[in-house]
Amino acid sequence: MKRLLSGNEAVARGAWTAGAVVGSGYPGTPSTEIMEIFARYPGVYAEWAPNEKVALDVAIGAAYAGRRAFATMKHVGLNVAADSLFYAAMTGIEAGLVIVSADDPSMHSSQNEQDNRQYAKFVRIPCIDPADSQEAHDFAIAAFDLSERFDTPVLLRLTTRVCHTSTPVEVSEQRFVSSDPIKYPRNVAKYVMVPANARRRHGVIEHRIQEISQYAETSPLNRMEIRSSQLGIITGGIAYQYAREVFPEASILKLGLVYPLPAALIRNFASMVERLIVLEELDPFIEHQVRLLGVELYRGKQTLDTPKGIFPIVGELNAQIVRKAAIEAGLIEGEMLQTSPSFPMELPQRPPVLCPGCPHRGAFFVLSKLKVPVNGDIGCYTLGLTEPLNAIHTCGCMGASIGVAHGAAVAGDQERHVAVIGDSTFFHTGIPALINVVYNRSNVITIIMDNRVTGMTGHQDNPGTGKTLQGRDTTEIDIENVVRALGFTYVKTLNGYDVEGIEKTLKEWMKISDPAVLITREECALLPEARAKYVPLEVVEEKCNGCTMCFRVGCPAISKSEKLDPRYQRPLAVIDPSLCTGCEICAQVCPRDAILFRNQVLDKQEIDQ
Amino acid sequence: MENHRFVLVGVGGQGTLLASHLLAEIGLSLGLDVKKAEIHGMSQRGGSVVSNVVWGKPVFSPVVGEGEADTLIAFEKLETLRYLPLLKPSGAIFVNDHEIEPITVSAGKQIYPNNADIEATLHKFTTKVFWIPANQIAEDLGSARVANTVMIGVVLKGLGVELDYGVRTLEKTIQSRYLELNLRALKAGYDWLAISNHKG
Ligand code: SF4
Ligand code: SF4
Ligand code: SF4
């Protein structure tokens, strides 16, 4: 029976079927579910590593020890892991090693849209690019085989649309069991990359990539679909689907192995069709290589030499975009689909916001009040940037907040900088940045917003939660102790909802010139244990005068009621009981005690009964 | 068959993903090729969310582009408008008559359109508009959380798919603790369309 699996689920299943026994990753959209699913299979070890480089080193270590292993991450994670990627490409492995990189064209949940096929070319390793879940499953298995056959890591490159699209998959119930554990290799020339050895290995990997391109000529990962000879399309990954949809009659060279390319196959295909085009998402990765082969591509009505022939270089494709570009290039006849009637009204935006009861809200409320420059980081707490808090001024990549704040401080910026970072991000790359602050003595104040989980990617455990990915109890790393051990003297842990305490502490620290770390600790309001404690608060209408203080905390549960304050004619506040968790941040900021605290609400309920 | 393309829209946290999952599984149980595409991450925190389900034989692109959707299913009123351009001329709209104020509105920066304007706009795109009091129906059954399943019930009836396909899919998909309630919600939605004098 076919099952509906997302690309991520299919990769996890494929890795299990291929006999992978070790998986290490760092959660990142759109890759996260791969490791979560893999962790549930029998006979495997799966973990969350503190960052992608660690994850890849772990997988490399397992592959050196003769066990099939893989590491998962989102595209930008491969930047963090790049150092390890390059040495692993040099050394090769004993058992299959696969690196899964999930790219995010159109940046649905990312800071850039880098095309990680480029990494494969950069490091001289094969890159496999599936087009749906069945291929994600089959290609994952093929990737391990390819890795062992050519003694190389393999990059399994996914994109958001493959990761998070579910399509039917035929799976096998049998698992490939790798051969008996090997004796750990003592092969210094291969595995110790001192210059003398590394120089020899460089020659080896250049030769290897030549061999793999020979293999690519006949690999079942690549296939020709011959239909009409008028138009030929070279494509790979999700773009294949758009090719089939928009050009049902065209002949297609579907590349599963998108690096290295099969030169003879491409030339052969080109000779069979009148017009040849390349259809791919993002970079002209295949297109450039095909041009370098001297194969002529159809460029439509274009006269200028643009980086990409026909299709857009920015953003995700879809069948519509492909169709439009194809019509413009004169590849297909047709008018654009009748566009919809013009839109008569302006719609209010609905940006993501911190959830009602989010424990990050307390510190952001204080920061926006203090009006200090805040260097932000990647996670739920990035949402501190939104109205009405407006409390974040920069955000680059995981772990950047502290370093960027330090940079401003040592550059002599007059204002005191506050860096914010989450618990998971602290473990990811925050620690070295904090070491730098204390070592090079800047006055950065760092707030570690510890919500006891990795929030934005959907609640994964991390070194601070006391649980592993596979649910085992483990050492819970105490952030405050770590920070003290780094040498900070001003360190304090407060409850995330303690608005007054946070304000008082930050104001005190603004007066001294030492670096300091405030840990705001409170579990994410969406965790099941937190949900169980919800007590919705109430506004006492007689006391509220619509002063708007509580609106400024930016909680989605608070809105303006229809009722007006008789004196100023301002709308009163009202709390939606189906959304409010009872975090009491609004109650703390109300100057008129018009919002009942939890125990007041509970007392009132008792009296009512 | 021609592809049938669904677009499901709502607000992060409303359970749009679960509803898409049900619809995709139902398509599979009908013996069709199915693709379901969704976006995770930041927008799940109370932002505007959209997912696509395509039924057909076979399906290639998982992404529904402008003017391509046969059916738009909206779990929140305002979001119906936001994704209207995806609808085919004369496609069908199933809208949950439920309002969730975005932060831009509660902060007083923008205005939530009134019902008359919303209706008028929808009718410019198509005459097939079903207004469903799904939250109300769900609350009457015991929990607003199953409003999505009510909507799926209505859609199945609207498409002329037998209720039984939905029932079997729920039995396969929903945790046993919540199954009973969801089955009642599915049926309530199905019956609602069967007996109501809806506009359409
Ligand atoms: S998921 Fe948790 S941490 Fe993230 S915004 Fe919501 S409450 Fe805050
Ligand atoms: S802060 Fe208090 S008085 Fe002011 S609007 Fe809110 S509830 Fe009313
Ligand atoms: S207590 Fe106030 S701030 Fe907290 S969730 Fe409820 S309404 Fe929002």
pLDDT of residue A284 exceeding 70: yes
Location of structure tokens 């109205």: A387
Closest by Cα among B74, B70, B94, B100 to B8: B74
Between A492 and A345, where is the model more confident? A492
Looking at the CA of A359, name the nearest ligand: 1
H helix count then E strand count, chain B: 8, 6
- How many CB atoms are closer than 10 A to CB A488? 18
A459 in contact with B, Cβ within 8 Å: no
**Ligand 2 pocket check for A595: Cβ under 6 Å:** yes
pLDDT of residue A342 exceeding 70: no
Distance from CA of B59 to the nearest CA of A (A): 8
pLDDT of A279 reads 98
Residues having CB closer than 6 A to ligand 1 are A 354-355, 358, 360, 380, 451, 455, 524-526; B 45
pLDDT over 90, % of chain A: 90
Residue A392 DSSP SS3: coil
pLDDT of residue B198 exceeding 70: no
pLDDT of B200 reads 44
Closest by Cα among A458, A139, A79 to B38: A458
- How many CB atoms are closer than 10 A to CB B89? 12
Give CATH superfamily name and number for A2-217: Thiamin diphosphate (ThDP)-binding fold, Pyr/PP domains (3.40.50.970)
Cα–Cα separations (whole angstroms), residue A93 to A62, A81, A156, A498, A565: 9, 17, 16, 52, 72
Name the pLDDT band for A609 (thresholds 50, 70, 90): confident
Test B40 with A386 for CB contact under 8 angstroms.
no
ipTM of the complex: 0.91
A170 in contact with B, Cβ within 8 Å: no
Compute the distance between CA of residue A473 and CA of residue A467 in angstroms, rounded to an integer. Answer: 5
Average pLDDT over residues A80-95: 98
Name the pLDDT band for A300 (thresholds 50, 70, 90): confident
Distance from CA of B104 to the nearest CA of A (A): 6
- In chain A, CATH 3.40.50.970 sits at 2-217, 359-530
**Cα Rg for chain A, rounded, in angstroms?**
28
Cβ atoms A1, A172 nearer than 8 A: no
For residue A430, give the DSSP letter.
I
Cβ atoms B11, B49 nearer than 8 A: yes
Taking phi over 0 as left and psi of -120 to 50 as alpha, with beta for the rest, A582 belongs to left
pLDDT over 70, % of chain A: 98
A383 in contact with B, Cβ within 8 Å: yes
**Ligand 2 pocket check for A470: Cβ under 6 Å:** no
Name the pLDDT band for A182 (thresholds 50, 70, 90): confident
pLDDT of A303 reads 66
Compute the distance between CA of residue A487 and CA of residue A533 in angstroms, rounded to an integer. Answer: 37
For residue A409, give the DSSP letter.
H
Compute the distance between CA of residue B66 and CA of residue A505 in angstroms, rounded to an integer. Answer: 52
The pLDDT tens digits for A27-49 are 999 999 999 999 999 999 999 99
Cα–Cα separations (whole angstroms), residue A603 to A416, A531, A539, A606: 43, 20, 15, 5
State which amino acid sits at residue A272: M
Between the CA of A354 and the centroid of ligand 1 the distance, in Å, is 6
B77 in contact with A, Cβ within 8 Å: no
- How many CB atoms are closer than 10 A to CB A111? 15
B185-195 b/e (C-beta count within 10 Å ≥ 16 → b) = bbbbbbebbee
pLDDT of A337 reads 58
Domain covering A359-530 assigned CATH 3.90.1150.10 in the classification:
no
Average pLDDT over residues A420-428: 98
Average pLDDT over residues A144-171: 97
Task: Provide long-range contacts, Cβ within 8 A and 24+ apart, for A247-255.
Answer: A247/A326, A247/A331, A247/A332, A251/A224, A251/A225, A251/A226, A251/A227, A252/A224, A252/A225, A252/A227, A253/A222, A253/A223, A253/A224, A253/A225, A254/A131, A254/A222, A254/A223, A254/A224, A254/A225, A255/A129, A255/A221, A255/A222, A255/A286
Residues paired with residue A588 on neighbouring β-strands, in sequence order: none
Q: Which of A595, A596, A597, A600 to mutate to test the pocket of ligand 2 (most atoms within 8 A of CB)?
A: A595
State which amino acid sits at residue B115: N
pLDDT of B105 reads 86
The pLDDT tens digits for B119-141 are 999 998 899 999 999 999 999 99
Tell me the pLDDT of chain A averaged across its residues: 95
Domain covering A223-329 assigned CATH 3.40.50.300 in the classification:
no
pLDDT of B195 reads 81
- In chain A, CATH 3.30.70.20 sits at 534-608
Report the greatest alpha carbon distance in chain B: 49
Nearest to A345 among B44, B48, B113 (CB): B113
Closest by Cα among A101, A466, A521, A403 to A282: A101
Compute the distance between CA of residue A162 and CA of residue B167 in angstroms, rounded to an integer. Answer: 29
In chain B, the N- to C-terminal Cα span, in Å, equals 25
Compute the distance between CA of residue A473 and CA of residue A130 in angstroms, rounded to an integer. Answer: 36
Average pLDDT over residues A256-284: 98
pLDDT of B194 reads 84
Average pLDDT over residues B157-165: 96
Compute the distance between CA of residue B108 and CA of residue B126 in angstroms, rounded to an integer. Answer: 31
In which element (H, E) is residue B7 found? strand B4-11
Phi, psi (degrees; rounded to nearest 5) at A291:
-60, -40
Size of interface A-B (CB pairs under 8 A): 177
The pLDDT tens digits for A90-103 are 999 999 999 999 99
Which residue CA neighbors atom 6 of ligand 1 most closely? Answer: A355
For residue A454, give the DSSP letter.
B
pTM for the full predicted model: 0.94
Name the pLDDT band for B14 (thresholds 50, 70, 90): confident
In which element (H, E) is residue A4 found? strand A3-6
Average pLDDT over residues A343-347: 77
Q: Which CATH class is domain A534-608?
A: alpha beta
pLDDT of residue B153 exceeding 90: yes
pLDDT of residue B58 exceeding 50: yes
Location of structure tokens 């009718």: B123
pLDDT of A440 reads 97
B177 in contact with A, Cβ within 8 Å: no
Identify the closest residue of chain A to B81 by CA–CA distance. Answer: A347
**Ligand 2 pocket check for A140: Cβ under 6 Å:** no
The pLDDT tens digits for B66-122 are 999 999 999 999 999 999 999 998 899 999 999 998 888 877 789 999 999 999 999
The pLDDT tens digits for A568-595 are 999 999 999 988 999 999 999 999 999 9
Structure tokens at A190: 């291969």
B82 in contact with A, Cβ within 8 Å: yes
Average pLDDT over residues A262-286: 98
pLDDT of B2 reads 84
B63 in contact with A, Cβ within 8 Å: yes
Report the greatest alpha carbon distance in chain A: 86
In chain A, the N- to C-terminal Cα span, in Å, equals 56
Nearest to A4 among B28, B81, B108 (CB): B28
Q: Collect all residues of chain B within an 8 Å Cβ-Cβ radius of residue A456.
A: 41-42, 45
Cβ atoms A98, A143 nearer than 8 A: yes
Q: Collect all residues of chain A within an 8 Å Cβ-Cβ radius of residue B60.
A: 241-242, 244-245, 319
Rounded-to-10 torsion of CA A249, A250, A256, A257: 170
Helix segments in A414-454, DSSP class H: 423-425, 431-439
pLDDT of A196 reads 95
For residue A514, give the DSSP letter.
S
Q: Which of A544, A551, A553, A589 to mutate to test the pocket of ligand 2 (most atoms within 8 A of CB)?
A: A544
The two beta strands, A22-25 and B87-96, are unpaired
Cα–Cα separations (whole angstroms), residue A138 to A120, A129, A143: 20, 11, 9
pLDDT of A339 reads 56
- In chain A, CATH 3.40.50.920 sits at 223-329
Compute the distance between CA of residue B133 and CA of residue B189 in angstroms, rounded to an integer. Answer: 10
- How many CB atoms are closer than 10 A to CB B119? 16
